[in-house]
Each structure stands twice: as structure tokens, then as C-alpha cells.
Amino acid sequence: MNRIAAVQMASGPNVGANLIEAERLICLAVDNGAKLVVLPENFAIMGLDEEDKVKLREKNGDGPIQEFLSRQAALHNIWIVGGTIPLMSDDPDKVFAACMLYDSDGERVVRYDKMHLFDVKIGENVESYTESLTILPGDDVIVAETPFGKIGLAVCYDLRFPELFRCMLDKGAEIFAIPSAFTAYTGKAHWESLVRVRAIENLCYVIAAAQGGYHINGRETFGDSMIVDPWGVVLDRLPSGAGVISADIDLDRLSGIRRGFPSISHRKLNIGCV
């Protein structure tokens, strides 16, 4: 078995301050024995407005946020799922929301660009979001081979699209890492249900690392970071505030559940993968 951890934060507009907080929480995770640490969406920048992340965008493979993740992974001899980082695109007004996986040598293994963008109006005059104004969607389904099992990457709003997770399952996924920043309103209604059902229907572990708290830009995120096993059991969770949760990944248990309850092989429809 391997110990894994999810970090929960309430990031603000100051990248330096966010990285200091992320480093503190990564150290807590390492002290708890974690060999894989998942950071939340927007861990390094939650700007005062959506354009702030565009101003702070980095080149692919070069920049202080990416250097931070590489350094932390190598320093602590751990694997890190780096939440999301704003990376340059061909459009000067838009970025990719890139989720990076780094190995214990500090080398980047894979990059996943958030596929589904949060363009919604919530409730009657509650909140509205239009991520597509500043973010370009990705189109690649990513699953990576790791010492902990095969990890599929998804980000926040992706959680609502089960076909993405089926595609990752068909690529061999055993674990889903889902950096997120759910709103307080939608999180209260749907967060736990979505996280647990993605684990149950795919018989996979889910590591859901969330933003959780009040942000300087006036936004409130739901938190409730969770680690869920393939039977839908919540192994650890953090309802609110900054902190770390951890649990053991047991691939023998996963294999046993899949053998005894072979719902994956009972599927009748093939939706095809992106």
C-alpha cells in the first residue's frame, strides 16, 4: 500500500504567499507519510478577477509555479499532482488550465488541460461564471502509469461528465485525481454525490483536493476535500479550512472489488473515447 494525500487551501491573488502555504501543507502531507500529494485547482493563483491568471501565465515547461512543483517533488521524494497552472496559449487573452503530474525526481510526467469549462449561472442571481472568456479547453484524456497505480486526471467541472471518467477507465485508470474549486452553492448540493459516484461507477479510488474557504476576491469555495475508495467509502475528508487529508491506496482491495463485483465488464454500451 502507498500513502496518498490531498491538500485543501483558500488561495488568494498573491502567488508567492500561495506557494508558501502550499509548501507548508505539502510538508504536513510528507510528515504523514504521503508519497503522492494532490493540490487543488488554482492553488497558486485565485485572482481578484479572471484576467489576473492570464497576466501571470507561464510558458509550457518554464515558470516559477512549475519550478516550485518540480522542486517540491524532488526535495521530498514524492509525486505531485499540481492542481492547475495557467499556461500560455496561442490566444494572448486566454490560457490553458493545466494540471501537471511530477514524479519523485521532479520531472514532469504528464499534462492535462481542463476539458470542460465552467460557463454557468447559478440560481436566481446567486453567481455566474464564464471560464471560456479566459481559458481554452483541452481535448486529451490523460492516464499516467505511477508507482501507486494508473492515475487519471480531471479538474473540477469535469466531475460532472461521466463519459470522461469512462474514457479514463478504458485507458486503465485505477485512481482519479481531481483538483477542484467548487462553489459553496454547488458544492453543498452536489460535491459529495459526484465524488463518490465517480468512484463507485468506475470502481476506482478518487482523490478530490479542493479549495475551501473565503477568498479575497469575494468568492467562497466549498472545500470538503475527500479520498474515496472503489466501494464509495470516504476514507478521509476535511470539511473546511486549510489542511491535509491522507489515506492508503490498496490496489489489492481494488482488484478484489472488481473481481467480485464485475460491473465494468457488464457494460452494454460503448460510448467511445475522446
The active-site residue out of 41, 58, 131, 174 is 41
Q: At what angle are helices 162-170 and 192-202 packed, to 10 degrees?
A: 30
Is 156 tagged catalytic? yes
The active-site residue out of 156, 167, 174, 204 is 156
The active-site residue out of 58, 94, 114, 204 is 114
Is 27 tagged catalytic? no
Q: 265 with 238: CB under 8 angstroms?
A: no
Is 114 tagged catalytic? yes
Which residues are catalytically annotated?
41, 114, 156
